[in-house]
Structure 1
């Protein structure tokens, strides 16, 4: 007796040949490196960068007989809903931190919830004495995945307002980051009619229009608890790749170190000493 075909099979087809032996493989092009953090960063349009208070300079003073001890910074990067994307850890030399303070060179690794290092940020030590070495401006190199350069951040030489340039892997300028004026004409942000937040505008090189921002939140309410723990929000420009998002994160760290990294022992530093926008 001839075996009948299964429903939906053409006449004469062998049912054994229709059995699926090998399961379909996942599309590796979606997340080729297998990094959860990279995938989540690619999907979000805004992240929050919070310095971890227990690892901040203030906390490290309790662990050292030297009151001016400068420790390695650590940060938590979350999406707008507080969902952790990365944990960032500075790796730097002891002498560099104590002698160079905010100008110190370091490597920073951003790891996801699985503990995998997704992004590496390298910053060389460069002194920026405006009279002796005005050309030694600050810079950062960004790798994602580690070993593949995806972008750079370069400080620009300006007189009053800080500016930075973000370049892609081919050293093509993509964004300018423009900060507020550093003038100290008043001690209260309310006097200028502005908010207490300090905003660095992300300007597109293509049309010279603002497409995003890096904002430092006023921490006056939390100063008694976390006097050195800074908090930033980064609003990414639309339709940019993971390399540019990682580079803008690097720019956020550079801004923090250069403008908000207080000298050890300086407990009276206030955000308004920098300026408000």
Structure 2
């Protein structure tokens, strides 16, 4: 029998967590020696905008279904590129549940983070297995995991740090289909206090019918004073939400 961790009290709404980018002149930041160099791009941000692109050539030439993600700040600076790596056949049969590795590289081309997702057969009512992501930054050094909890109605995930302690809960809505409205997942601490959220914007009927399998946009917002490791875990969780509910 699958055991679930206790659910914290309902968090308050994190209003307008993902808005259109506003171009402002950033204030100068003072670097500190305590910030890991590989994740320093996350130290001063409180929002990340993600664009997904399906690698069409891989599909056409039977090399597998693979995505590429571009992670930008609100002022449209590219901070990370994310490449999916999987076996050529899993994308055609497993769809959004496929096992994979995501390699995260910075603007200099250095790999700063790796996300590992094993295969897990998941259904909302009768889950055979629950989803679990392992996040490594740098590759080879685990900083935490994202674990799905079994629920009948609302999606629920917990985020653990490298010591196995629960640092965040991620709660989804009753309906996760993006149909004429935005879909938001709230992020709160283990005590129920809100920290941020993820958002998938409704981009219109034309996009939903013809373009969403090839390209999409979503984002995540969080408190600025979170550690870079915590922000990296929330970025990984946001990518998992996309695979779970919106990857065709």
**Same structural fold, with TM-score higher than 0.5 when normalized by the shorter chain:** yes
Counterpart of 1:29? 33
Deviations 1:78-121 (A, max 9, x none): 00111000000000001221221111111101101110000110
SS at 1:218's partner residue?
coil
- Contact map agreement 1:211 1:238 (CA 8 A) in 2: no
RMSD: 2.6
Do structure 1's residue 161 and structure 2's residue 147 form an aligned pair?
Answer: no
Do structure 1's residue 117 and structure 2's residue 127 form an aligned pair?
Answer: no
In 2, distance between residues paired with 1:180 and 1:116?
Answer: 36
Q: Residues 83-122 of structure 1: matches in 2 within 5 Å?
A: 83-122=77-116
> For the structure 1 residues 238 and 62, does the alpha-carbon distance in structure 2 shift closer, same or farther, using more than 3 Å as the test?
closer
Deviations 1:115-142 (A, max 9, x none): 000011000011125677x351001011
Do structure 1's residue 149 and structure 2's residue 142 form an aligned pair?
Answer: yes
Q: CA deviation at 1:226?
A: 3.2
In 1, distance between residues paired with 2:166 and 2:203?
Answer: 33
**Match of residue 205, structure 1, among 173, 181, 190:** 190
In 1, distance between residues paired with 2:168 and 2:50?
Answer: 20
Gap runs ≥5 in structure 1: 1-26, 190-195, 263-277
Tell me the number of residue pairs that the alignment of Structure 1 and Structure 2 aligns.
216
- Contact map agreement 2:179 2:202 (CA 8 A) in 1: no
> For the structure 1 residues 226 and 81, does the alpha-carbon distance in structure 2 shift closer, same or farther, using more than 3 Å as the test?
farther
Counterpart of 1:268? none
In 2, distance between residues paired with 1:249 and 1:32?
Answer: 17
> For the structure 1 residues 248 and 222, does the alpha-carbon distance in structure 2 shift closer, same or farther, using more than 3 Å as the test?
farther
Point out which structure has higher relative CO (alpha carbons under 8 A, 6+ apart).
2
TM-score of the superposition, structure 1-length normalised?
A: 0.71
Deviations 1:20-66 (A, max 9, x none): xxxxxxx9935554x4xx211122111101102xxx16x348734x7
In 2, distance between residues paired with 1:248 and 1:157?
Answer: 20
- Contact map agreement 2:197 2:222 (CA 8 A) in 1: yes
Counterpart of 1:215? 199
- Contact map agreement 1:201 1:212 (CA 8 A) in 2: yes
Do structure 1's residue 137 and structure 2's residue 130 form an aligned pair?
Answer: yes
SS at 1:252's partner residue?
helix
Q: CA deviation at 1:171?
A: 0.8
**Match of residue 230, structure 2, among 244, 250, 261:** 244
In 2, distance between residues paired with 1:248 and 1:140?
Answer: 11
Is the strand fraction higher in 1 or 2?
Answer: 2
In 2, distance between residues paired with 1:198 and 1:32?
Answer: 33
**Match of residue 167, structure 2, among 166, 171, 174:** 174
> For the structure 1 residues 222 and 109, does the alpha-carbon distance in structure 2 shift closer, same or farther, using more than 3 Å as the test?
farther
TM-score of the superposition, structure 2-length normalised?
A: 0.78
> For the structure 1 residues 210 and 177, does the alpha-carbon distance in structure 2 shift closer, same or farther, using more than 3 Å as the test?
same
